[in-house]
Amino acid sequence: MRILKLAREYAREFHPLCDFNHEAPFKEGDRINYAGRVYDEEEIANLVEASLEFWLTPGRFARDFERGIARAIGVASAFYCSSGSAANLLAVSALTSPLLGDRRLLRGDEVITAAAGFPTTVFPIVQNGAIPVFVDIAMPTYNINVAQLENAVSHKTKAVVLVHTLGNPFDISAVKACCQKYNLWLIEDNCDAFGSEYTLAGETKPTGSFGDIGTLSFYPPHHITTGGGGAVFTSNPLLAKSCLVSAIGGAIALVQAALITRAGGTF
């Protein structure tokens, strides 16, 4: 298509180096970016094509992206959403589904998480009426100190929600063993760890694929970006259904809140 050819030409002329020039040798005094945009004319052409399609809800690009994410992590399904925080909210909310029977997360149940983490790893636990139980971290990884994990389990514990801090996998082997022993759900907040791998029982797999549900953030400072955005993913068909139901439930709640606000009420 002519317009896409022109977009590529434009990119070559006006975006020649992105934020990183991998060709240029590093010189003392050069700025070292901790993050930056790495893209080329294909991204610019895709951007133009998606805009011209003018599909205002998730369309073919989002569906392709979801399939790509599921393939990259090695899970059955991935769902694109508005942020990593939204992905964490969907993941924890999915655990409250009646589809899960006795293992369903109820108000007043406990969810174990780490004392140092991201705010929106913890908020979804509180938003769903559950109680976060904090376990300290260990230096130098800033990941959960697994020696203290089992002490935090009570008869009210239903799940463990943990971040792979700064991309360094937590001790998945110990955490999974504890979850299996006490029949707990495991959610991996994988927002900082896209591309990290872990070896368990001789098998090396991407982080995010070891728990029952995993999440990603595509906010720009992360490994790949969609501008903003996130994904929630799982290989458990029941949890996949619960994630979708939570997303629909959230949308209905927003519409209800908007209607109540318009009608001058409170919620």
Ligand X SMILES: Cc1ncc(COP(=O)(O)O)c(C=O)c1O
Instruction: Give the side-chain half-sphere CA count within 13 A for 123.
Output: 10
Stretch that binds ligand X, among 58-66, 80-88, 231-239, 246-254 (CB under 6 A): 80-88
Does 230 bind ligand X (CB under 6 A)? Our answer is: yes
| Residue 222 bears catalytic tag | yes
Stretch that binds ligand X, among 8-16, 67-75, 174-182, 187-195 (CB under 6 A): 187-195
| 3 state SS for 93-147 | HHCCCHHHHHHCCCCCCEEEEECCCCHHHHHHHHHCCCEEEEECEECCCCEECHH
Nearest to 81 by CA among 208, 185, 214, 186: 214
> What amino acid occupies position 130?
A
Does 143 bind ligand X (CB under 6 A)? Our answer is: no
Does 113 bind ligand X (CB under 6 A)? Our answer is: no
For residues 221-243, one letter each, b for 16 or more C-beta atoms within 10 angstroms of the residue's C-beta and e for the rest, the string is: ebebbbeebbbbbbbbeebbebb
Nearest to 191 by CA among 244, 118, 113, 115: 118
- Of 77, 157, 209, 217, the one binding ligand X (CB under 6 A) is 217
- Of 163, 178, 179, 184, the one binding ligand X (CB under 6 A) is 163
- Of 77, 83, 97, 246, the one binding ligand X (CB under 6 A) is 83
Helix axes 84-94, 119-127, angle to 10 degrees: 40
> What amino acid occupies position 12?
R
Say which of 155, 164, 222, 223 is annotated catalytic: 222
Measured from the CB atom, the residue of 16 and 195 that comes closer to ligand X is: 195
Binding mask of the shown chain, residues 24 to 63, with x at each position contacting ligand X by CB under 6 A:
----------------------------------------
- Of 69, 81, 85, 172, the one binding ligand X (CB under 6 A) is 85
Q: Which residues are designated catalytic?
A: 222
State the residues that interact with ligand X by CB under 6 A: 83-85, 88, 118, 120-121, 163, 189, 191-192, 217, 219, 230
